[in-house]
C-alpha cells in the first residue's frame, strides 16, 4: 500500500514536471518566434497565405456555427422569457451573448478544431519527415518561417472571423425572432440597443485575438514536438485541439474576470 | 495582387465595417439627420449609462452622450445628443428613470411645470437644463428593507419590554381604569341630578330676571313719564336748596368743630390740673390735702362753721351789737 501511494505521488510529480517542461518548451518556441519578427523577409510573404487558410477558409464554418447559435439563442430566450419578462429582452440576450461570449468562444473552439489540428498535423508531418530539420540545416529559422506567419495570421484573422460570426449570429437571431416568434423588428432592435456598450466589441476582439494566438501557437508547438511517424502526427493534432480548447476556456474565464 | 490578399483584405475590412457600423448603429447614431447636444445637471443619475435613450413625449429623439461628475463633485452633467431642429418645451427639464425592471434607464425631456413636486437640480447656467432622477425599484426596496429592519428592532424592543410583570401591571392598570370609569359614571349620574337642579334654578332665575326686566321696563316708563312731566325739575330745585342748606350746615358744623377743639384743649388742660391736684392730694400736699388728711382740721372747721352760724344768727337778731350807725 505505501508503495502504491508512493507510485501515485511519484506519477503526480512526474506529470507536474512534464507539464512544466512542456510549458517551458512552448515558452522557448514563443521566444524564438518573437525573435523571428526581425526576419520580415522570411515571414512577410507567408502571412497572407496563412491568413487565407486560417481566416478566410474558416469563415464558412464559423458563420455556420454562429448562425445556428443565434437561432437557438432566440428560440431558447423566447421559451424562457415568459410572463413578467418583456419579450424585447430576446434581442438583448442574443446580442449580448453573441458579442461577448458565444461568438468568440464558439468560433475559437471551432477554429481550434479546424486550424489547430491542421497546423499541428502539417508541422508534425514536417517534423517526422525531417523537413524542419532540413530548414534548420539550410539556416532557415523554423520559428520565423513556420510559426510566426501562422501565429500572426491567427491573431489577426480570429477577431475578424469572430466579428463576422457574431454579426451573423445576431442577424440569425433577429430573423428567427421576427419569423418564428411573435416579435417585431423594433422590439428586437430595442433589446439589442438597450444593453449594448461599445466595449462589448472591444472585449470580443481582445478575447478572439488571444484565442487566435493560443490556437496557432499551440498547433505549431505540438507539431514541432511530434515524434513517432504518422501516429505521432495524429497525437499531435489531438493534443493541439485538446490543449487549445482548454486554454480557450481558461482565457475566456480570465478575460471575463479581468475586463468585465 | 494575389487572390489570397484580396480575400484576406475583404474579410478583415468586412469585419471591421460590421463591428464599427454595428456599434454606431446600436448606439443610436444614424447617418440621416443631424444632431445637437444639450446638457443637463443632476444631483445623481442612478444607473443611467452612456448611450441610453432620450425621449420627448415618449418618442426617442436621441441618446445620452457623456456622463461626468462636475469638478466640485456637487452635480452630474450629462450630454443629450438629440435630433437637430426639435423645439423643446420652454421650461424644459430632464427626467431620468428606469425604463423597465431590468436596469435599463432612460432620459426624457419634459416640461418642468408639469412636475411641480419634483425637486429638479437647478443649474446656474440657463443654457443647461435642470434634471431629476427618479428613484428606482432597488432603492425603494432598500428603503423598505430599512423600514422593515427598524420595525424588527422595535418589535424586539417591545418584546423585551413586554414581560410578565408588564402584563400584570397592564392588567392592574386596566382594572384601575375600569374602576375609575365606574366612579366617573357614578359621578356623572350624581352630577346629572345637580345639573338638573341647576337647570331648574337657572330656569327660575331666568323667570325672575324676566320679571325684573319687566319691572325695570315699567320703572323706566315711569321715569320717562316723570321726566316728561317736569316733576324732576322741581325735585332738582329742591335738591339744590337742600344742598345749599347742607352746605351751610356743614359750615356751622365746621365752626362748631373748631370750638369743640378749643373746648377739648381747655378740658385737657383742666384735666391736667385736676390730675396734678389729685397727685398733690394723694401726696398730702396743700391745704385741701391736709384738710382731707387731718380729721381735726375738719372738726375744727366744722366747729368754726357752727360758731359762724351762731354768729350769723346772733347778728340777725342783734345787728346793733355788731353795727353802729351814725349819721353824723
How close, in Å, is residue B27 to chain A by CA atoms?
6
> Does A1 have pLDDT greater than 60?
no
Does any CB of chain B come closer than 8 Å to the CB of residue A83?
no
Residue B33 backbone dihedrals phi, psi, to 5 degrees: 80, 140
Q: What is the pTM of this model?
A: 0.59
Non-local (6+) Cβ contacts of B220 within 8 A are none
Position of cell 486554454?
A247
> Does A98 have pLDDT greater than 90?
yes
Pick the residue of A56, A171, A209 with the most B CBs within 10 A to test the interface with B by mutation.
A56
The answer to whether A88 touches A194, Cβ cutoff 8 Å, is yes
Higher pLDDT, B211 or A168: A168
pLDDT digits (tens, 9 = 90+) for B41-72: 999 888 888 878 889 998 888 888 889 999 99
Mean pLDDT of B207-228: 80
Q: Confidence class of residue A120 from pLDDT cuts 50, 70 and 90?
A: very high
Question: Which residue in chain A has the smallest CA separation from B47?
Answer: A195
pLDDT digits (tens, 9 = 90+) for B72-88: 998 999 999 888 888 88
Mean pLDDT of B194-222: 82
- The percent of residues above 70 in pLDDT, for chain B, comes to 89
What is the pLDDT at residue B205?
81
Pick the residue of A156, A165, A194 with the most B CBs within 10 A to test the interface with B by mutation.
A194
Per-residue burial over A187-225, b if 16 or more Cβ lie within 10 Å, else e, is bbbbbbbbbbbbebbebbbbbbbbbbbbbbbbbbbbbbb
pLDDT digits (tens, 9 = 90+) for B283-328: 777 776 776 677 776 677 778 888 888 888 887 888 777 766 555 5
> Among A84, A163, A197, whose Cβ lies nearest the Cβ of B51?
A197
pLDDT digits (tens, 9 = 90+) for A236-253: 999 999 999 999 999 999
How close, in Å, is residue A118 to chain B by CA atoms?
18
Mean pLDDT of B12-38: 83
> Does B29 have pLDDT greater than 80?
no
For CA atoms A25, A30, A32, A33, the dihedral sign is positive
Non-local (6+) Cβ contacts of B103 within 8 A are B47
Question: What 8-state DSSP symbol labels residue B121?
Answer: B
- The domains of chain A are located at 2-259
> Which of A112, A135, A127, A139 shows the shortest CA–CA distance to A54?
A112
- Interface touch A160/B12, C-beta < 8 Å: yes
> Which of A115, A122, A203, A130 shows the shortest CA–CA distance to A163?
A203
> Among B19, B28, B50, whose Cβ lies nearest the Cβ of A193?
B28
ipTM of the complex: 0.80
pLDDT digits (tens, 9 = 90+) for B144-162: 888 888 898 888 887 777 7
> Among A95, A198, A205, whose Cβ lies nearest the Cβ of B27?
A198
Average pLDDT across chain B, whole number: 82
- Interface touch B11/A192, C-beta < 8 Å: no
Long-range CB contact pairs, A249-252, < 8 A, 24+: A249/A105, A251/A207, A251/A210, A251/A211, A251/A214, A252/A101, A252/A104, A252/A105, A252/A207
The answer to whether A201 touches A96, Cβ cutoff 8 Å, is no
What is the pLDDT at residue A97?
93
The answer to whether B83 touches B61, Cβ cutoff 8 Å, is yes
- Interface touch B27/A51, C-beta < 8 Å: no
Mean pLDDT of B219-236: 72
Higher pLDDT, A25 or B143: A25
pLDDT digits (tens, 9 = 90+) for B78-137: 999 888 888 888 889 999 988 777 777 889 999 988 888 888 998 888 889 999 988 766
Residue A15 backbone dihedrals phi, psi, to 5 degrees: -65, -40
Cβ atoms within 10 Å of B4's Cβ, excluding its own: 16
Question: Which residue in chain B has the smallest CA separation from A157?
Answer: B12
Distance between CA atoms of residues A95 and A86, nearest Å:
16
What is the pLDDT at residue A113?
93
> Does B10 have pLDDT greater than 60?
yes
What is the pLDDT at residue A79?
80
Amino acid at each position: 500500500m505505501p508503495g502504491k501511494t508512493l507510485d501515485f505521488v511519484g506519477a503526480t510529480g512526474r506529470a507536474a514536471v512534464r507539464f512544466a517542461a512542456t510549458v517551458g518548451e512552448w515558452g522557448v518556441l514563443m521566444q524564438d518566434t518573437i525573435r523571428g519578427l526581425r526576419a520580415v523577409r522570411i515571414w512577410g510573404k507567408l502571412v497572407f497565405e496563412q491568413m487565407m487558410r486560417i481566416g478566410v477558409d474558416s469563415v464558412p464554418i464559423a458563420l455556420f456555427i454562429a448562425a445556428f447559435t443565434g437561432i437557438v439563442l432566440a428560440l431558447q430566450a423566447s421559451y424562457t422569457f415568459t410572463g413578467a419578462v418583456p419579450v424585447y429582452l430576446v434581442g438583448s440576450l442574443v446580442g449580448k451573448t453573441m458579442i461577448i461570449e458565444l461568438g468568440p468562444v464558439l468560433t475559437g473552439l471551432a477554429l481550434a478544431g479546424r486550424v489547430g489540428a491542421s497546423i499541428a498535423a502539417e508541422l508534425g508531418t514536417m517534423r517526422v519527415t525531417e523537413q524542419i530539420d532540413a530548414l534548420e540545416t539550410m539556416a532557415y529559422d523554423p520559428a520565423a518561417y513556420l510559426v510566426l506567419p501562422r501565429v500572426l495570421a491567427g491573431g489577426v484573422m480570429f477577431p475578424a472571423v469572430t466579428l463576422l460570426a457574431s454579426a451573423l449570429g445576431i442577424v440569425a437571431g433577429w430573423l428567427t425572432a421576427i419569423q418564428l416568434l411573435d416579435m417585431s423588428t423594433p422590439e428586437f432592435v430595442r433589446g439589442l440597443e438597450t444593453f449594448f456598450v461599445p466595449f462589448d466589441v472591444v472585449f470580443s476582439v481582445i478575447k478572439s485575438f488571444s484565442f487566435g494566438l493560443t490556437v496557432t501557437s499551440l498547433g505549431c508547438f505540438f507539431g514541432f514536438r511530434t515524434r513517432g511517424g504518422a501516429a505521432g502526427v495524429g497525437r499531435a493534432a489531438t493534443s493541439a485541439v485538446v490543449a487549445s480548447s482548454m486554454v480557450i476556456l481558461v482565457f475566456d474565464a480570465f478575460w471575463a474576470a479581468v475586463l468585465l | 495582387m494575389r487572390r489570397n490578399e484580396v480575400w484576406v483584405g475583404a474579410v478583415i475590412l468586412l469585419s471591421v465595417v460590421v463591428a464599427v457600423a454595428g456599434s454606431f448603429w446600436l448606439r443610436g447614431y444614424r447617418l440621416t439627420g443631424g444632431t445637437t447636444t444639450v446638457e443637463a445637471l443632476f444631483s445623481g443619475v442612478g444607473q443611467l449609462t452612456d448611450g441610453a435613450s432620450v425621449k420627448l413625449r415618449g418618442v426617442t429623439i436621441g441618446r445620452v452622450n457623456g456622463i461626468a461628475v462636475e469638478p466640485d463633485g456637487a452635480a452630474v452633467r450629462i450630454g443629450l445628443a438629440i435630433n437637430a431642429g426639435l423645439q423643446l418645451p420652454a421650461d424644459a427639464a430632464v427626467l431620468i428613470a428606469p425604463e423597465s425592471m431590468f436596469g435599463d434607464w432612460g432620459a426624457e425631456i419634459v416640461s418642468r411645470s408639469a412636475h411641480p413636486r419634483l425637486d429638479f437640480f437647478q443649474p446656474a447656467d440657463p443654457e443647461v437644463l435642470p434634471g431629476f432622477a427618479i428613484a428606482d425599484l432597488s432603492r425603494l426596496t432598500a428603503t423598505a428593507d430599512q423600514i422593515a429592519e427598524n420595525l424588527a428592532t422595535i418589535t424586539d424592543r417591545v418584546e423585551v419590554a413586554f414581560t410578565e410583570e408588564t402584563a400584570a401591571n397592564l392588567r392592574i392598570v386596566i382594572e384601575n381604569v375600569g374602576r375609575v370609569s365606574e366612579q366617573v359614571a357614578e359621578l356623572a349620574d350624581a352630577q346629572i341630578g345637580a345639573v338638573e337642579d341647576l337647570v331648574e334654578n337657572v330656569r327660575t332665575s331666568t323667570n325672575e330676571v324676566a320679571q325684573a326686566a319687566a319691572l325695570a321696563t315699567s320703572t323706566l316708563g315711569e321715569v320717562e313719564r316723570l321726566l316728561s312731566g317736569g316733576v324732576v325739575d322741581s325735585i332738582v330745585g329742591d335738591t339744590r336748596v337742600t344742598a345749599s342748606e347742607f352746605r351751610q350746615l356743614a359750615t356751622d358744623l365746621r365752626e362748631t368743630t373748631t370750638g369743640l377743639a378749643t373746648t377739648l384743649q381747655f378740658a385737657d388742660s383742666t384735666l391736667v390740673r385736676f390730675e396734678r391736684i389729685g397727685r398733690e392730694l394723694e401726696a398730702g400736699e396743700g391745704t385741701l390735702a391736709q384738710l382731707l388728711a387731718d380729721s381735726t382740721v375738719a372738726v375744727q372747721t366744722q366747729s368754726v362753721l357752727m360758731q359762724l352760724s351762731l354768729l350769723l344768727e346772733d347778728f340777725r337778731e342783734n345787728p346793733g351789737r355788731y353795727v353802729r350807725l351814725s349819721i353824723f
